[in-house]
A and B are shown apart, each in its own frame.
Chain A
């Protein structure tokens, strides 16, 4: 996970295990995520795909074949994943919803209801990911 160049690491399947570890240490997610149970299909087309289950204040990377029917899809190019977790984002590209509107490299799909239902926890996950980028 440590970068030898000083630049943030590329987002990958492995990176999400670090995000999962950060979730365990995040006081806010431990409070707001207690009753959450949702799934994210995180995809970088042509590169990697990982299913993430947020359940009981934990983020659990899971084989994507386990995805339930209702889930959130976040699909992005490597550039797009960099935008999602960019700690110093540009205006109108600074947030997952903004990126879904304005970035050609980020697509939000799957269940819209799952997205809005779990938006508070999802937004905190993105913030944690941005903090991970700063640490590395």
Chain B
């Protein structure tokens, strides 16, 4: 066939695949995308969303020429189907199941000492990963994460007289910075609109109910697993103050507030987020980052 458009099609280097594995005693068909070569950046999406949130990172040649970026959809999310029998159960994500699926996925792909980047619920999950399995992880970067985040677990999205397909994404859009590019904010909204019924709520069960690391920050060994926590100043779910409390409680943790950005930094304003990410990657992997333009590494005073 002939193209109806003059400009040539452009293929991305991002490749998507499925891996079948067992986790928490159940068969799981997990979808993931990856690009690049080098030390692994394992990316974990937010509650009720999927790995598309990391498409800008996956498509950034400055990153993928130095790192292997891998992002997967949790079971029940994106292109990863829920396990058999899902129709007879209430979806509630627990810390044990969440830690298990990340480890089982990493093991299935033979990911060696990955740097784990997680946002929102995953920004908190990475702290639990570091606490339980510091020896398996090269470092964690938590975005919009804290030791405890209150108030996100609510039942209204299950009501038959509420259109969760519209209300959940608008509810979460509230957490973004108004100056982030509109096309990116709308994309975050769109991804949320495609979540399954009750999935956002079930994820926030982990984020706001099941996980509570207050008083346990000292159990995280940042010598074995460096910890970085960054939160956008417009984030009113996990506020910069919540993250500052976590940094204060975890000996050796670094990070702080990111100006002019909200709860979904890698998705709502990737260029700005990158200025915060690169200095961290330079600390963790100077051997592959140090050749970057020094200007690109000047982005943050938080690290």
Contact = CB atoms under 8 A, between A and B. Distances in A.
Interface stretch (A7-15, A43-51, A111-119): A111-119
Interface in A88-136: 89, 91-92, 94-98, 101-102, 112-113, 116-117, 119-120, 123
A119 B170 CA distance: 7
B285 interface: no
Given A89-B178, A97-B174, A116 B233 contact: no
Which residue of A113, A119, A123 has the most chain B CB atoms within 10 A of its CB atom?
A119
A32 to B, nearest CB: 8
Interface string A55-79: 0000000000000000000000000
Task: Using C-beta atoms within 8 Å of the partner chain, give the interface range for chain A.
Answer: 10 to 19
A119 B167 contact: yes
Nearest to A96: B174
Given A113-B156, A113-B159, A117-B162, A92 B234 contact: yes
Contacts of A98: 174, 234, 236
Nearest to B236: A98
Interface in B127-181: 156-157, 159, 161-163, 166-167, 169-171, 173-174, 177-178
Contact of A91 (B159, B162, B234): B234
User: From DSSP, what is the main secondary structure of chain A's interface residues?
Assistant: helix
Contact of A117 (B163, B233, B239): B163
Interface residues of B, number: 19
Contact of A116 (B156, B234, B236, B239): B156
Contacts of A119: 166-167, 170-171
A98 B234 CA distance: 9
Contact of B161 (A95, A96, A102, A117): A117
Contacts of B167: 116-117, 119-120
Nearest to B178: A94
A97 B161 contact: no
Interface of B: 156-157, 159, 161-163, 166-167, 169-171, 173-174, 177-178, 233-234, 236, 239
20 contacts: A89-B178, A91-B177, A91-B233, A92-B233, A94-B178, A95-B174, A95-B236, A97-B171, A97-B174, A98-B174, A98-B234, A98-B236, A101-B236, A102-B236, A112-B156, A113-B161, A116-B157, A119-B170, A120-B167, A123-B173
Interface of A: 32, 89, 91-92, 94-98, 101-102, 112-113, 116-117, 119-120, 123
